[in-house]
Amino acid sequence: MVAIVIFSIPLIPEETMPTPAHYKFEYGVHDPHTHDVKSQWEHRDGHHVKGAYTLKEADGTIRIVEYTAGPHTGFQAVVKRIGHAHHPAHYGHHHGGSHHGGHGGNSYVGVTHWGFKQ
Protein backbone atom coordinates (compact mmCIF):
# COMPACT_ATOMS: atom_id res chain seq x y z
CA MET A 1 0.00 0.00 0.00
CA VAL A 2 1.23 3.41 -0.93
CA ALA A 3 -0.01 6.49 0.83
CA ILE A 4 0.27 9.90 -0.77
CA VAL A 5 0.27 12.84 1.56
CA ILE A 6 -0.04 16.32 0.14
CA PHE A 7 0.52 19.33 2.31
CA SER A 8 1.54 22.90 1.82
CA ILE A 9 3.44 25.33 3.91
CA PRO A 10 2.23 28.88 3.55
CA LEU A 11 5.06 31.24 2.65
CA ILE A 12 4.83 34.17 4.98
CA PRO A 13 7.42 36.80 4.22
CA GLU A 14 9.58 37.66 7.13
CA GLU A 15 8.95 41.22 8.17
CA THR A 16 12.09 43.27 7.90
CA MET A 17 12.50 46.86 8.71
CA PRO A 18 14.18 48.88 5.99
CA THR A 19 17.68 49.87 6.94
CA PRO A 20 18.12 53.64 7.15
CA ALA A 21 20.30 55.01 4.38
CA HIS A 22 23.87 56.12 4.92
CA TYR A 23 25.69 58.07 2.24
CA LYS A 24 28.03 60.96 1.50
CA PHE A 25 28.50 62.84 -1.73
CA GLU A 26 29.96 66.06 -3.04
CA TYR A 27 30.55 67.73 -6.38
CA GLY A 28 31.65 71.03 -7.80
CA VAL A 29 31.51 72.90 -11.11
CA HIS A 30 33.72 75.79 -12.17
CA ASP A 31 33.21 76.58 -15.86
CA PRO A 32 35.01 79.78 -16.94
CA HIS A 33 33.27 79.70 -20.33
CA THR A 34 29.68 79.78 -18.99
CA HIS A 35 30.59 81.32 -15.60
CA ASP A 36 28.74 78.44 -13.93
CA VAL A 37 30.21 78.10 -10.44
CA LYS A 38 28.49 75.86 -7.91
CA SER A 39 29.10 73.04 -5.44
CA GLN A 40 27.19 70.77 -3.10
CA TRP A 41 27.89 68.22 -0.39
CA GLU A 42 25.51 66.10 1.65
CA HIS A 43 25.80 63.44 4.37
CA ARG A 44 22.99 61.17 5.49
CA ASP A 45 23.20 59.07 8.62
CA GLY A 46 19.98 57.14 9.04
CA HIS A 47 17.09 59.57 9.18
CA HIS A 48 19.27 62.68 9.56
CA VAL A 49 20.63 64.68 6.63
CA LYS A 50 23.12 67.53 6.70
CA GLY A 51 24.48 69.40 3.71
CA ALA A 52 25.23 72.64 1.93
CA TYR A 53 25.35 74.06 -1.54
CA THR A 54 26.87 77.20 -3.01
CA LEU A 55 26.40 79.01 -6.27
CA LYS A 56 27.66 82.17 -7.89
CA GLU A 57 24.74 84.46 -8.65
CA ALA A 58 24.50 86.58 -11.82
CA ASP A 59 25.18 89.71 -9.73
CA GLY A 60 28.55 88.32 -8.59
CA THR A 61 27.54 87.36 -5.05
CA ILE A 62 27.91 83.86 -3.67
CA ARG A 63 24.83 82.19 -2.17
CA ILE A 64 25.50 79.57 0.51
CA VAL A 65 22.66 77.37 1.76
CA GLU A 66 23.36 75.12 4.75
CA TYR A 67 20.60 72.67 5.60
CA THR A 68 19.63 69.87 7.95
CA ALA A 69 16.65 67.54 7.92
CA GLY A 70 15.34 64.97 10.34
CA PRO A 71 12.13 63.29 11.41
CA HIS A 72 11.63 65.58 14.40
CA THR A 73 13.03 68.84 13.04
CA GLY A 74 11.85 68.74 9.43
CA PHE A 75 13.86 70.60 6.79
CA GLN A 76 15.73 73.67 8.04
CA ALA A 77 17.94 75.90 5.91
CA VAL A 78 20.13 78.91 6.58
CA VAL A 79 20.80 81.09 3.53
CA LYS A 80 23.83 83.39 3.41
CA ARG A 81 24.94 85.82 0.74
CA ILE A 82 28.59 86.80 0.45
CA GLY A 83 30.05 89.64 -1.59
CA HIS A 84 28.73 92.83 -3.12
CA ALA A 85 26.19 92.73 -5.91
CA HIS A 86 27.05 94.41 -9.19
CA HIS A 87 25.12 94.71 -12.41
CA PRO A 88 26.12 92.27 -15.12
CA ALA A 89 27.58 93.62 -18.35
CA HIS A 90 25.07 94.61 -21.03
CA TYR A 91 25.17 92.76 -24.30
CA GLY A 92 23.57 93.92 -27.54
CA HIS A 93 22.49 97.43 -28.40
CA HIS A 94 19.34 99.37 -27.77
CA HIS A 95 18.11 101.01 -30.96
CA GLY A 96 15.88 104.07 -30.81
CA GLY A 97 13.01 104.70 -28.46
CA SER A 98 10.80 101.78 -29.39
CA HIS A 99 10.64 98.54 -27.52
CA HIS A 100 9.81 95.33 -29.33
CA GLY A 101 9.28 93.02 -26.36
CA GLY A 102 12.80 91.60 -26.17
CA HIS A 103 14.51 90.75 -22.92
CA GLY A 104 18.16 91.33 -23.53
CA GLY A 105 20.92 91.01 -26.06
CA ASN A 106 20.80 90.32 -29.73
CA SER A 107 21.62 86.94 -31.19
CA TYR A 108 24.28 86.84 -33.84
CA VAL A 109 23.76 83.14 -34.58
CA GLY A 110 21.59 82.38 -37.56
CA VAL A 111 18.95 79.86 -36.57
CA THR A 112 16.31 78.32 -38.78
CA HIS A 113 13.61 75.89 -37.79
CA TRP A 114 15.97 73.14 -39.08
CA GLY A 115 18.83 74.22 -36.83
CA PHE A 116 21.83 76.49 -37.22
CA LYS A 117 22.69 78.09 -40.57
CA GLN A 118 25.93 76.83 -41.99
Quick: pLDDT tens for 6-61: 655 566 666 777 788 999 999 999 999 998 999 999 999 999 999 999 999 989 99
In degrees and rounded to multiples of 5, residue 11 shows phi and psi of -90, 105
Q: Is 103 helix (H, G, I), strand (E, B) or coil?
A: coil
Beta strands in 32-88 (DSSP E): 36-45, 48-56, 62-70, 74-82
On whether the pTM is more than 0.75, the answer is no
- The Cβ-side half-sphere exposure at 85, using a 13 Å CA radius, reads 6
User: Which residues, including other chains, have CB under 8 Å from residue 53's CB and lie 6 or more apart?
Assistant: 38, 39, 40, 41, 64, 65
> Domain residue spans in the chain?
22-82
pLDDT of residue 112: 46
Q: Are 56 and 38 in contact (CB under 8 A)?
A: yes
Backbone angles phi, psi at 4, to 5 degrees: -110, 125
User: What does pLDDT average to over the chain?
Assistant: 79
